[in-house]
Chains A and B, each alone.
Chain A
Amino acid sequence: MTAITEEVAVREKAMRAMRGRQRMNSIIFLGPATVIIVLFFLLPVIVDIVIAFSDMGRDLQISKFTTRNFERAATGDRRLPKVLFLTLIYVGATLAIFNVTFGLVLALTTTALPRGSGGFFRTIWLMPRMSPSVVYIVLWQWSVHSGDSSLVNQILKHVFGAQENIDLLSNSPVPLIILANGFIGASFGMIILTSAIRGIPDHLFYAARCDGAGSLAIVRHITLPALRWPLTYIGIWQTLSLMVSFEYIILLTGGGPFQDTTVFALYIYRRTFASGQYGYGAALALFLIIPGIIIALLAWRLTNMKELLQEPRIEVH
Chain B
Amino acid sequence: MARIEFRHIEKRFGDVMVIPDMNIDIPDGEFVALLGPSGCGKSTSLFMLAGVYLPTGGELLFDGHRVNEVEARDRNVGIVFQAYALYPHMTVRENIMFPLRFKKVPPDEARARVLEAAELVQVSELMDRRPSQLSGGQQQRVALARALVKQPQLLLLDEPLSNLDATLRLTMRSEIKSLQRRLGVTTILVTHDQIEATTMADRVICMNKGEIEQIGSPDDLYLRPNTLFVAGFIGSPPINLVDGQAENGHLRAGEGTFDVTGSLPRRVTVGLRAEHMRFGDAGMPGRVRQVEPMGRETLYEVDTDIGTIRVLEAGSTAAHRIDGQVKIAFDRGDTLIFDSDTGRLVPDAHFAANGSA
Question: B-contacting residues of A (Cβ < 8 Å)?
Answer: 201, 203-204, 206-214, 217, 221-222, 225-226, 228, 315, 317
Contact = CB atoms under 8 A, between A and B. Distances in A.
Nearest to A315: B136
Contacts of B47: 206
Interface string B72-83: 111101110111
Chain B interface size band reads: 20 to 34
Interface in B109-164: 135-137, 146, 150, 163-164
14 contacts: A201-B83, A206-B50, A206-B79, A209-B51, A210-B77, A210-B78, A211-B99, A212-B103, A213-B73, A213-B101, A217-B101, A217-B102, A228-B89, A317-B165
Given A212-B102, A213-B102, A317-B165, A207 B73 contact: no
Nearest to A214: B73
A317 B81 contact: no
B42 to A, nearest CB: 16
Contact of B73 (A212, A226, A317): A212
A98 to B, nearest CB: 27
B83 A203 contact: yes
B163 to A, nearest CB: 7
A46 to B, nearest CB: 43
B170 interface: no
B81 A203 contact: yes
A118 to B, nearest CB: 18
Nearest to A224: B89
Given A207-B85, A211-B146, A221 B73 contact: no
Q: Is the interface of A mostly helix, strand, loop or mixed?
A: helix
Interface string B30-63: 0000000000000000010011100000000000
Contact of A317 (B72, B82, B163): B163
Nearest to A217: B102
A54 to B, nearest CB: 52
A55 to B, nearest CB: 56
Interface in B269-326: none
B186 to A, nearest CB: 15
Contacts of B222: none
Contacts of A201: 83, 85
- Top 9 closest A-B pairs, CB basis? A212-B102, A317-B136, A207-B85, A211-B99, A203-B85, A209-B72, A225-B89, A212-B73, A203-B81
Given A217-B102, A221-B98, A317-B163, A210 B89 contact: no
B223 interface: no
Q: Is the interface of B mostly helix, strand, loop or mixed?
A: loop
A214 B168 CA distance: 35
Nearest to B47: A206
Interface of B: 47, 50-52, 71-75, 77-79, 81-83, 85, 87-89, 98-99, 101-103, 135-137, 146, 150, 163-165, 168
Contacts of B72: 206, 209-210
B52 A209 contact: yes
A222 B98 CA distance: 11
A206 B48 CA distance: 12
B168 to A, nearest CB: 7
A222 B74 CA distance: 19
Contacts of B74: 212
Contacts of A315: 136
Given A217-B102, A225-B89, A315-B136, A210 B83 contact: no
A221 B72 CA distance: 17
A225 B74 CA distance: 24
Given A209-B72, A213-B102, A317 B78 contact: no
A209 B73 contact: yes
Contacts of A225: 87-89
B79 A207 contact: yes
A228 B101 CA distance: 22
B4 to A, nearest CB: 15
B191 to A, nearest CB: 16
A208 B94 CA distance: 13
Contacts of A222: 87
Nearest to B52: A206
A204 B87 contact: yes
Contacts of A226: 88-89
B81 A211 contact: no
Given A209-B51, A211-B146, 6 more contacts: A203-B85, A210-B50, A210-B51, A214-B73, A222-B87, A225-B87
B70 to A, nearest CB: 12
Contacts of A210: 50-52, 72-73, 75, 77-79
Given A203-B81, A210-B50, A221 B87 contact: yes
Contacts of B164: 317
Nearest to B75: A210
Contacts of A206: 47, 50, 52, 72, 79, 81, 85
Nearest to A313: B132
A210 B47 CA distance: 10
A213 B72 CA distance: 9
B156 to A, nearest CB: 8
A317 B168 contact: yes
Nearest to B156: A210
A317 B85 contact: no
Nearest to A204: B85
A203 B163 CA distance: 15
Contacts of B83: 201, 203
A228 B52 CA distance: 27
A213 B47 CA distance: 16
Contact of A211 (B52, B71, B73, B163): B73
B81 A207 contact: yes
A211 B168 CA distance: 26
A203 to B, nearest CB: 4
Nearest to A218: B73
Contacts of B168: 317
Contacts of B77: 210
User: Which of B72, B82, B150 has the most chain A CB atoms inside 10 A of its CB?
Assistant: B72
Contacts of A212: 73-74, 99, 101-103, 150
